[in-house]
Structure 1
Amino acid sequence: MHAFRISWPPADGVAVFNQVYLTVTEEIGRRIGTGQFTDPQAAATLDVLFAGRYLAAVDAETDGRRPPACWRPLFQHRHHPGVRPLQFALAGINAHIGHDLALAVIDSCRLLGCEPAALEGEFDRVGDVLVLLEEQIREDLMPGPDLLEIADPLTHLLGTWSLERARDAAWSAARILWGLRELPLLADEFRERMDSGIGLVGRYLLTPLR
């Protein structure tokens, strides 16, 4: 992510998300290092596998392969002049939380040999970091002096999306996928529908506003 920050221009929509996510991962790493997670190994495993999903999507796009549907709107609109930085940031967060987080929980369970319930505490603590940073992200990237500009369409657009609700949905999705682990065809269908649904939300969040 540090390399991406150097190589991508600041106005690139994926670079906007990358900077936000880099801040999040550094904060989670700091909290793991200072003992703020009950199970540091589980927290680190979840954090690394979670980040790996984003990096894999970037690699797919760079190599000319199709990234997951949830990431495609951000890659397709990354240079659109009518999309504002906050939209890019939240579209990336939407893809990463809505799709990647649930899959990272499943990946972590398989690697650690546990069930999702064993990771719930660390999942919640990671989510708490994200929620705490969401307000700062909005403040840093919202245009204009007033965050509550009623006439600004961005206010209405972004008011329809909630990181906390996305996190809750990701946990539910992880539990469903774990329950379907012995039914691979159903699990694949659920993942595909989740991916496409999150991608649709991403397209909405990236509606050009100027």
Structure 2
Amino acid sequence: MAQLEQFTTPLDAVVSRMRALGAALPERDGVAVFNRVYLAVTEEVGRQLDAGRFPDPGAAITLDVRFAERYLSAVDAAAGGSRPPACWRPLFQFRRHPGVRPLQFALAGINAHIGHDLALAVVDACRSLGCEPAELEDEFDRVGDLLTTLEERIREDLMPGPDLLQIADPITHLLGAWSLERARDATWAAARALWALRRLPELAEEFTERLDAAVGLAGRMMLTPLPG
């Protein structure tokens, strides 16, 4: 009988799932492009946890696992024929479109995951840990810093053409209006608002739906097919 894989933490299980997903998808698939980006971030979180760089490792693991579960649930929904959250639908709809470039896929996935999933993950983690959002702000900021560093590298690696030609490339104009820093700030505000609304479920649900739709609209624009 095959030996079962052993996981030290729930984060290890998440990393294993992302690796398996990446191995099963074509390299050019839009979800595969984002998955590689997100896997790199999650692996780096694991390394920093091992190095003791998170002041509260338990809180960091809880937040990162709740965060990753939102993405993996969207993948499962799409694979099972269900509708994923609105923020993720553009990526699944256009994942094989030949006119959408890898950089667009990567940033559209980051937009969905940061703009929508992270706010909900903060609330999920607060409920699991019995704490206030302010107590997770250090963990939130550290994960955000990792994503910001990686986003810079992604743009350098996936931006087509030499630097002198980038200003004329349509992708420069299409994606230039989106900022991870602004998305992080908006997400933290959204997480605090959702936490404040936790005893008003109807308002919380409406807020979440509107957030989901707004992030999805931004993602759809980011995935506008471009000429080759």
* TM-score (norm: length of structure 1): 0.98
State which of 99, 109, 131 in structure 2 corresponds to 1:114. Answer: 131
Give the letter for the 1:52 counterpart.
E
Residue number in structure 2 paired with 1:143: 160
Is structure 2 residue 100 aligned with structure 1 residue 89? no
Q: Distance in 1 between matches of 2:114 and 2:164?
A: 24
CA shift, 1:149, in A, is 1.4
Give the letter for the 2:148 counterpart.
V
Contact 1:14 1:88 in 2 (8 A): yes
Task: Say which one has the larger Rg.
Answer: 2
CA shift, 1:145, in A, is 2.2
Structure 1 stretches of at least 4 aligned residues deviating more than 6 Å after TM superposition: none
Name the CA shift for 1:59/1:147 in 2 (closer, same or farther; >3 Å): farther
Q: Distance in 2 between matches of 1:10 and 1:57?
A: 19
Residue number in structure 2 paired with 1:39: 56
Give the letter for the 2:83 counterpart.
R
Contact 1:148 1:155 in 2 (8 A): no
Contact 1:74 1:206 in 2 (8 A): yes
Give the letter for the 2:191 counterpart.
A
Give the letter for the 2:215 counterpart.
I
Residue number in structure 1 paired with 2:75: 58
Contact 1:70 1:99 in 2 (8 A): yes
Q: CA offsets per residue over residues 54-76 of structure 1, 9 Å max, x none?
A: 00000000000110000000000
State which of 23, 28, 34 in structure 1 corresponds to 2:40. Answer: 23
Residue number in structure 2 paired with 1:188: 205
Residue number in structure 2 paired with 1:10: 27
CA shift, 1:141, in A, is 1.1
State which of 109, 123, 140 in structure 2 corresponds to 1:123. Answer: 140
Contact 2:99 2:225 in 1 (8 A): yes
Gaps of 5+ in 2: 1-17
Residue number in structure 2 paired with 1:207: 224
* Greater mean alpha carbon deviation, residues 188-197 or residues 122-131: 122-131
Is structure 2 residue 72 aligned with structure 1 residue 72? no
CA shift, 1:5, in A, is 1.1
Residue number in structure 1 paired with 2:190: 173
* TM-score (norm: length of structure 2): 0.91
CA shift, 1:146, in A, is 1.7
Residue number in structure 1 paired with 2:15: none
Q: Distance in 1 between matches of 2:71 and 2:37?
A: 13
Contact 1:139 1:147 in 2 (8 A): no
Q: Distance in 2 between matches of 1:9 and 1:147?
A: 31
How many equivalent pairs are there? 210
Q: Distance in 1 between matches of 2:50 and 2:176?
A: 34
* Greater mean alpha carbon deviation, residues 67-76 or residues 151-160: 151-160
CA shift, 1:26, in A, is 0.4
Gaps of 5+ in 1: none
Name the CA shift for 1:43/1:148 in 2 (closer, same or farther; >3 Å): farther
Contact 2:160 2:166 in 1 (8 A): no
